[in-house]
Amino acid sequence: MSTAAAPDPPHPSPSGPRALPQRARVVVIGGGVIGAAIAYHLAHLGVTDVLVLERDRLTSGTTWHAAGLMTCFGSTNETNTRLRLSSRDLYARLEAETGVATGFKPVGLIEAAADADRLEEYRRVAAFQRVHGLEVEEIGPREMAEMFPLARTDDLLAGFHVPGDGRVNPVDLTMSLARGARTLGVRVVEGVSVEQVLTRPRGLVEEVVGVHTDAGDVECEVVVNCAGMWARELAGRNGVVVPNQAAEHYYLVTEPIDGMSPDAPVFEDPAAHGYYREEGGGMMVGLFEPVAAAWKVDGIPHDFSFGEITPDWDRMGPFVERALSRVPVVETVGIRTFFCGPESFTPDLAPAVGEAPGIHNYFVCAGLNSVGILSAGGLGRIVAHWVAEGRPDVDVTGFDVARFRDWQLHPRHRAERTAEILGTVYAAHTPGVELASARGEFRSPVHDRLVAEGARLRDVSGWESAAWYAGRGRTPRAEPGWGPQPWFEHWAAEHRAVREAVGLMDMSFMAKFAVRGPDAGAVLDRLSAGAVDERDGVITYTQWLDDHGGIRADLTVTRLAPDDFLVVASDTAHGSALGQLRRAVGDADATVEDVTTDLALLTVQGPASRATLAAAAPGTDWSTGAFPFRAVRRVEVGGVDVLAIRITYLGELGWELYVPAGRAPQVWDAVLEAGEAHGIRPAGLRALSSLRLEKGYRDFGHDIDNTDDVWGVGLGFAVALDKPGGFTGREATLAARERGTPHHRLVQVLLTDPEPLLFHAEPVLRDGVVVGEVRSASYGWTLGGAVGLAFVGGHGPVTPQWLAEGTWEVDVAGTRHPARVSLRPMYDPTSARVTA
């Protein structure tokens, strides 16, 4: 095998002089494809007072050596699908606008399914993405061979052909975007390095006032950190968490090959770790190996621009051999280039996008996980809209930079997780596949009790939490799979224990914040759509909204005293909720303290929960008269002072117990002992999912997101429109109510056939027409079938009559299954069991 030099760096691009303006409204840091795309879209939105600062030349870093794939297939996320389609559409028309070619060539994509798991996954993906505008068809091995004759296809099960996908030239694309931005007034300055984002205090947070560069300071109102591999280090200087990490990424380019047509489609075979496309008459073979290598964990060299990494042949040899086995012809020709360059990855393989939770107007768009080129056009529009309008106009709950926590910055975490996460790019995403690296940042105070009960542990935002229990003294065993698994019997038993007897669940991973001070109540009441500051000893389920009525958080607020409140949010909303709290305080006399690790959360749920707690805490009257729904009491359980709250997320009579972390084992033991006579059973997160979905309880970031309002997702009951002083988003929420019945609503869906399983993203049909999709799902052991929450509508008001008059089905991997839908919970619709 012969090798040659890496791809040539781009020629110098025209730019403004190194001398900087004194100010700009927006400073975009980084001149890669992402920075150029954001500047371009800002200009098209009328925000032209924009300065793009690039430390070297445009495309330096990772853009210049990107493989240039423009493929849309592979996601069951609506935002992801639409932003890729948006990118593809932009690249197809950009040359006509700017006069600078992008190299976009819609040669098509073939995604190969080499095994049953991938075939099931891709059929589900195809069904979802067709709904959102992607043209994709399933084809057989013979058709694949006809379209890409240099690939061996006889051992493949099927392929998925996307005719509109293709390839693009990353350098030309970036230059075209920059030209389009400049034409509308954006200034682009190369050779200037931003050393620090300048801020000033604003209450408990900061706000952007400028940037400090090696050529002087520039005043600005908004900063967008698009610094690619350097984004983490730059963000860290202001305490912003962007835990992206560079990794080695490989591709090779062969000498010219007879029969390698420039019009050949992009061919991807994830099972062989490879993608294949034409390049200069030869073939480019790109690699996503299952075990990767992080690069420069201690920090990316400041002067690294158009460089390459020395390939690790010993590590990569087996992966290269596997990839080349798909295209045997490559073994007969010379290799012109074997290239290794850095690409940036995040711990969860989703980008870091949005406004930093602790700094007003500090935006991030980084950590693109080797899909920056195909994402740039769409992400550029999303971030530009967010900057220009003050809010995103698409669901960003999975991308929001606020989801990251500071422990994810640790070098060991980044090194271990990056080596694994890159490998998941081309892995089969079978249900039950779990990340194994960098686990156990947090352990529940009752961790040893969970292990003793045979817990199958899973990672929950850094916490080791029980998914289900094999039983005391037993070792839990599970394999990934799309169908029913042997361990389902344990899950079903836990579910039924909560429905019929009593379950004990550890939810210590939930985010918990103490908000205290004379103005704490006023701050929280203004922030919350519900009335949270009425009387002591009451918990309130509420939402936090933006000015347009979009949901930004879904949580509970407990008033312990007029100046003492407890806010509890989901683990995934930890950073976002904390940021919103600190911003809301402003100049008020209030403090916010993160007490997540200080308090264990044990929840006791089920019809026998009252009897169980009466035995564990005989000094307390647990009757409805003394302890009504939503009431909060200080009680003694097992000799420990506990904050007990009568509330449920599982749809049964039950209580949450907030316990000092060090005393939690004592309380766990006391409750288990007291419940033994009542059939108590520890229950895990799989049971939590199935129980809450049978009751139709929502989960922010899964069933509801920032594009929803309370009426469309059935949460209008939690809003206090008439409370004194109002709340953020009140006017928009009131206006939405006055418009009448929503045209899109969240409904419960239940398959009438007990065999098929739902996960999420399955299309929902009414009278044969797709009208929505499942947002989250589980199996309903009480209802007797797969159950989920789906967002449907688009053809007028979604009324009970419209639902009742339709024939409903759900598309599961291309097969339609009859279903029932309902606006009310199918389990205990009146909540009689909850309030019993």
Q: What angle do CA 34, 35, 37 make, to 5 degrees?
A: 65
User: Is the distance from CB of 470 to CB of 686 less than 8 angstroms?
Assistant: no
Contact partners, residue 83, CB within 8 Å, separation at least 6 = 375, 377, 378, 379, 381, 382, 394
Provide Rg for the chain, Cα atoms. Answer: 27
Packing angle between helix 372-389 and helix 33-44, nearest 10 degrees? 40
β 216-219/205-213 pair status: antiparallel
pTM recorded for the entire structure: 0.96
Q: What does the alpha-carbon distance between residue 445 and residue 605 come to, in Å, rounded to a whole number?
A: 20
Name the token pair of 433: 């596949």
Q: Say if residue 306 is exposed, middle or buried (CB neighbours under 10 Å; 0-12, 13-18, 19+).
A: middle
Q: What does the alpha-carbon distance between residue 575 and residue 409 come to, in Å, rounded to a whole number?
A: 14
Q: What does the alpha-carbon distance between residue 556 and residue 512 come to, in Å, rounded to a whole number?
A: 10
Q: What does the alpha-carbon distance between residue 378 and residue 376 come to, in Å, rounded to a whole number?
A: 6
User: Is the distance from CB of 211 to CB of 234 less than 8 angstroms?
Assistant: no
In this structure, the number of other CB atoms found within 10 A of the CB of residue 590 comes to 24
β 26-29/222-225 pair status: parallel
User: Is the distance from CB of 398 to CB of 408 less than 8 angstroms?
Assistant: no
Q: What does the alpha-carbon distance between residue 708 and residue 713 come to, in Å, rounded to a whole number?
A: 7
User: Is the distance from CB of 470 to CB of 490 less than 8 angstroms?
Assistant: yes
Name the token pair of 671: 């409750």
Closest alpha carbon to 261 in 93, 146, 137: 146
User: Is the distance from CB of 384 to CB of 41 less than 8 angstroms?
Assistant: yes
Dihedral over Cα of 82, 88, 92, 98: its sign: positive
The per-residue pLDDT for 313 is 86
User: What DSSP designation does 448 have?
Assistant: H
Phi, psi of 302 (to 5 degrees): -65, -30
The per-residue pLDDT for 321 is 95
The per-residue pLDDT for 481 is 97
Low-confidence ranges of the chain (pLDDT < 50): 1-5, 11-17
- Which residue spans within 653-768 are E strands per DSSP? 654-660, 680-682, 744-751, 763-766
- Cα dihedral angle (128, 133, 135, 136), rounded to 10 degrees? -10
Q: Which domains does the chain have, with CATH numbers?
A: 440-510+596-708 (3.30.1360.120), 513-594 (3.30.70.1400), 741-836 (2.40.30.110)
